[in-house]
């Protein structure tokens, strides 16, 4: 029996060693063919912008094409499901966002488990949201908007039910107790048009949608939801400066792979992507597009995404938000 046990143990050790060597060899030679970078949104959004910037740079360093594949639909779950079920070999990447951490609670019957079936490589970048009002609203700062919202009912628009903009509005309502009625739209553009037209009192909008309307005076910005002021709108105070530090939200985008991807390959992907994002010309280009570049280790990114699932799950449950399948716009 002892001989058989020793033989079994030797075989087990041998198999484990072979697996480690095989994974290390794969990582050393990786990649040997093109990489599919799934973006579960239409072209032009922040996830698509970041993915194309990264893909262009990493294609050069890997000497293999990194091909962006837009798979929009199902509140960004169609593309995420494709990535979750792809072979865990490093040749399928997923561009993901805060939307996916919200979906984890909104869609408990999703065909994949966000935290179990996908593993983080890194958060890549973030942008703040901006609290904006129609100029006819007599609020020059966030405290005045809150006072108005406590004294009477106000209308707040968003780019759709369950979107980051909607969750930001719900968080604002929960923190302050304002009497805000949510008016969902099919996208950021129609919500912004309605705000300009006076049908809404305020929206909490993604930063890229705001500056042109601020310059023309069609909208007034009260606060940005980031830790520090943003260089695209340097005169706009943060929510912390405006007295609401709990209203801190960033619309971020990150990179994930199927959860069984060998750690050595995850490290290789992280190394190349992080290197690309730290290059001065890349930082400048992304800042001009409104991004703050964020690079963290895979375990740190995974922990952050888990914390976002918990944070937004609480907001969804307290606001009793119900899922609506549609097109997410991030």
Check pLDDT > 80 for residue 245: yes
Whether 19-27+34-126+253-319 shares its CATH topology with 128-224 is answered yes
Position 189 scores a pLDDT of: 85
pLDDT(88) > 80: yes
Cβ 255 vs Cβ 122: under 8 Å: yes
Confidence tier at 188 by pLDDT (50, 70, 90): confident
**109-135 mean pLDDT:** 96
Mean pLDDT lowest for which of 56-65, 183-192, 282-291?
A: 183-192
Higher pLDDT, 140 or 209: 140
How much is the pLDDT for 293? 95
291-303 tens-digit pLDDT: 999 999 999 999 9
Selection from 36, 199, 230 nearest residue 130 by Cα: 230
What mean pLDDT is predicted for residues 47-52?
A: 94
Least confident range from 140-144, 224-228, 322-326: namely 322-326
Q: Report how far residue 80's alpha carbon sits from residue 78's, in angstroms, rounded to the nearest whole number.
A: 6
Q: Which of 156-160, 197-201, 218-222 has the lowest mean pLDDT?
A: 156-160
Instruction: Note the pLDDT of residue 18.
Output: 46
Q: How confident is the model at residue 79 (pLDDT cuts 50, 70, 90)?
A: very high
pLDDT at 250 over 70: yes
128-224 domain in CATH 3.90.1150.10?
no
What share of the chain has pLDDT > 90, as a percent? Answer: 77
- Average pLDDT of span 66-77: 93
Q: Which residue has the higher pLDDT, 289 or 28?
A: 289
* Domain boundaries of the chain, sorted by first residue: 19-27+34-126+253-319, 128-224
pLDDT of residue 15: 52
Contacts of 249 (CB under 8 A, 6+ apart): 128, 129, 164, 167, 168, 171, 204, 225
Please state the rounded mean pLDDT for residues 98-107. Answer: 94
pLDDT at 314 over 80: yes
Dump pLDDT digits (tens) for 263-281.
Answer: 999 999 999 999 999 999 9
| Cβ-contact 126, 298 below 8 angstroms | no
**Residue 3 scores a pLDDT above 70:** no
Q: What is the mean pLDDT of the chain?
A: 90
Query: Dihedral of the CA atoms 223, 228, 233, 234 (nearest 10)?
Result: 110
Query: What class has domain 19-27+34-126+253-319?
Result: alpha beta
């Amino acid at each position: 029996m002892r001989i058989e046990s020793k033989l079994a143990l030797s075989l087990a050790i041998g198999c484990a060693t072979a697996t480690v060597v095989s994974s290390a060899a794969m990582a050393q030679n990786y990649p040997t063919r093109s990489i599919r970078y799934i973006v579960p949104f239409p072209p032009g959004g922040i996830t698509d912008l970041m993915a194309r910037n990264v893909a262009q740079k990493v294609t050069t360093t890997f000497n293999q094409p990194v091909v962006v594949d837009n798979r929009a639909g199902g509140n960004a779950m169609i593309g995420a499901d494709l990535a979750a079920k792809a072979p865990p070999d490093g040749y399928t990447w997923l561009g993901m966002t805060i939307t996916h951490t919200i979906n984890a609670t909104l869609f408990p019957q999703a065909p994949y488990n966000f935290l179990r079936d996908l593993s983080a490589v890194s958060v890549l970048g973030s942008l703040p949201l901006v609290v904006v009002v129609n100029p006819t609203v007599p609020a020059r700062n966030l405290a005045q908007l809150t006072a108005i919202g406590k004294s009477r009912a106000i209308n707040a628009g968003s780019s759709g039910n369950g979107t980051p903009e909607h969750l930001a509005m719900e968080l604002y309502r929960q923190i302050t107790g304002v009497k805000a009625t949510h008016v969902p739209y099919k996208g950021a553009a129609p919500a912004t048009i309605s705000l300009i037209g006076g049908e809404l009192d305020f929206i909490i909008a993604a930063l890229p949608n705001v500056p042109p309307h601020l310059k023309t005076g069609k909208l007034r910005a009260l606060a940005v939801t980031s830790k520090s002021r943003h260089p695209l709108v340097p005169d706009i105070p943060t929510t912390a400066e405006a007295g609401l530090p709990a209203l801190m939200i960033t619309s971020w985008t990150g990179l994930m792979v199927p959860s069984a991807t060998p750690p050595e390959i995850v490290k290789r992907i992280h190394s190349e992507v992080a290197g690309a994002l730290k290059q001065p010309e890349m930082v400048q280009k992304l800042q001009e597009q409104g991004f703050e570049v964020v690079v963290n280790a895979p375990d740190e990114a995974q922990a952050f995404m888990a914390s976002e699932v918990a944070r937004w799950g609480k907001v969804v449950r307290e606001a009793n938000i119900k899922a609506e399948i549609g097109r997410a716009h991030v």
